[in-house]
Structure 1
């Protein structure tokens, strides 16, 4: 994976840059049927559903990796103002988008 700075802040201390444009990384993931049954059972008794937590963690990592790759493809040195957005698709799929502004150092 490319070594590119990704930050949630607008400014990078000590660096000046020009904006290249918007950049994003997107993934949609689901768990297998057996794990979905286990999650349904956990839903009855309450508590954290670790398989879904792990799925979201993995999805966020994949989305950021894709954001980085897209920024590199645009010729960027960094991404500022990175944010996440997520949503459910059906009952067992989760979509995660990482987005921000690709910048080039001056």
Structure 2
């Protein structure tokens, strides 16, 4: 279920006065499956984009943002400012994505 909360990478929302509620985040860890690993191995030989991995990371970012929005909604926020992403590998077959920012409430 998508939560209707504005998420922006900017520090200020033009025309809005708001109070800071605190840090919010959304996390997900995705695993590469055997078929993706096989395709990646083949692409590693010939070069080029590994579309299955790109799709997996895109999905992971979307999940992380959805969870960030839910975290903000649970705090009573109207928006999230200064949103950023962080990602990293866990071992050789997992990718973690974090979306984080500052939850704010309009005055």
TM over 0.5: yes
Question: What pairs up with 1:31-46 in 2 under 5 angstroms?
Answer: 31-46=32-47
RMSD: 0.6
Which residue does the alignment assign to 1:19?
A: 20
Alignment of 1:38-77 (within 5 A): 38-77=39-78
The alignment of Structure 1 onto Structure 2 pairs a total of residues equal to 106
- Paired position in structure 2 for 1:105: 106
SS of alignment partner, residue 43 of structure 1: helix
Q: Structure 2 regions of 5+ residues with no counterpart?
A: none
The alignment's TM-score, normalised by the length of structure 1, stands at 0.97
Query: In the alignment, what sits opposite 1:83?
Result: 84
Hey, what does 2:5 align to over in structure 1? Answer: 4
Q: 55-64 vs 88-97, which deviates more?
A: 88-97
Q: 1:26-62: per-residue Cα shift (whole Å, max 9, x none)? A: 0000121122111111111110000000010000000
Q: Distance in 1 between matches of 2:91 and 2:47?
A: 21
